[in-house]
Amino acid sequence: MLFTPFELKSVTFPNRIVMPPMCQYSAGEDGLANEWHFVHYGARAVGGVGCIVVEATAVEPRGRISRRDLGLWDDSQIGPLQKMVDFCRSHGTVMGIQIAHAGRKGCGPELVAPSALPAGPEQPVPRALSQAEIAEIVEKWAAAARRAHQAGFDVLQIHAAHGYLIHEFLSPLSNHRQDEYGGDLRGRLRFLLEIIEAVQKEWPKEKPLSVRLSAVDHLDGGLTIEDTIAISSELKQRGVDLIDVSSGGLMPAPIKTGPGYQVPYAEAVRREVSIPTIAVGLISQVELAEEILLNERADFVALGRELLRNPYWPLQAMTGQAEKWPEQYRRAALK
Ligand SMILES: Cc1cc2nc3c(=O)[nH]c(=O)nc-3n(C[C@H](O)[C@H](O)[C@H](O)COP(=O)(O)O)c2cc1C
């Protein structure tokens, strides 16, 4: 199953192996991609990853997790990404990018969030956004989407997980707003739906649109899998094509981890909403990856840290398929 192609809109994924977004904190302060990104992503493309989702890329400087984040808030940031995208695509890899806003988990000096609530006891208190500011930020997401398209990306992923700005709106623990951007799930979802609508004006209809969600907060009173099913169902109706199902990140929480620990969330969303999903979280073994796909628990498997350890994981899993190895490496193909 790992090497079965998958079609979404105009894009054919050559296999089901995804490299999930992983911050490298290696861009210049101007948010420009450089040689590090070219080599890092290029190696995984050569290694046979079906779809690379480039790390969280800020839609505005205030939305950076660190001063070394990639950015797509300015047209000057398109060129270096485009060069990298062209190279990776020439190896048959589908190229995605995650666009993001860190909200209260930003690097400062200005931290913004739905409500003036910190991410933890020792964390700084952000400023609550006004409605006019919310409207401005929505437009920043749309402009970043336009630039991602210009850079040649095939897939766009909106980062709505891990305690960053959109997740802060979604969770009742971080959103105490009294206006139409808060309250019940419908209100808390408004910000994300407005971003999707704005992004869809810039991101071509024929290219897949993905959203990454934290399926649960792992905290009392936080988001539950039932909320995530309701959110995903709404996203599907609004034209989202693929849900990347992660969890946690809003505030420190006790989590029990182990191989495939988040797969049940991806499975629940896929089953209840009938939408393609990516499963992620401690998936390192070919056998586990195959089991997830074979039992239709997810449509894609994402391997994060495993692909940092071993960019050639996909090639090594392709035993006996020397023709799928890059020509330059074929003499090393595993029988
Ligand atoms: C170095 C590193 C950076 C990460 N950066 C991001 C990121 O930019 N966006 C995101 O959604 N998740 C990020 N994550 C989470 C990963 O995408 C993935 O969900 C997580 O590592 C679990 O998968 P794994 O067990 O296969 O590593 C990061 C993880 C690591 C290890």
Q: How many domains does the chain fold into?
A: 1
| Pocket probe mutation, ligand 1, options 18, 22, 159, 250, max atoms within 8 Å of Cβ | 22
CA 246 / ligand 1 centre spacing (Å): 9
Q: What is the pLDDT of residues 294-319, one digit of tens each?
A: 999 999 999 999 999 999 999 999 98
Average pLDDT over residues 279-290: 98
Question: Is 1 a member of any domain?
Answer: no
pLDDT of res. 113: 98
- Say whether pLDDT at 334 is over 90: no
Strands 6-8 and 11-13: antiparallel
Residue nearest to atom 22 of ligand 1 (CA): 281
Q: Which residues contact 164 (CB under 8 A, 6 or more apart)?
A: 56, 65, 100, 101, 102, 103, 105, 249
pLDDT of res. 332: 93
Q: Which residues contact 214 (CB under 8 A, 6 or more apart)?
A: 160, 161, 162, 163, 167, 223, 246, 247, 248, 249, 250
Q: What is the pLDDT of residues 169-215, one digit of tens each?
A: 999 999 999 999 999 999 999 999 999 999 999 999 999 999 999 99
Check: pTM over 0.85? Answer yes or no. yes
Nearest atom within ligand 1 for CA of residue 56: 8
Containing domain of residue 222, as a range? Answer: 6-332
Domain containing residue 272: CATH number:
3.20.20.70
Question: Is 30 a member of any domain?
Answer: yes
With a 6 A CB cut-off, is 19 part of the ligand 1 pocket?
Answer: no
Of 137, 133, 142, 77, whose CA–CA distance to 101 is shortest? 137
Question: Is 302 a member of any domain?
Answer: yes
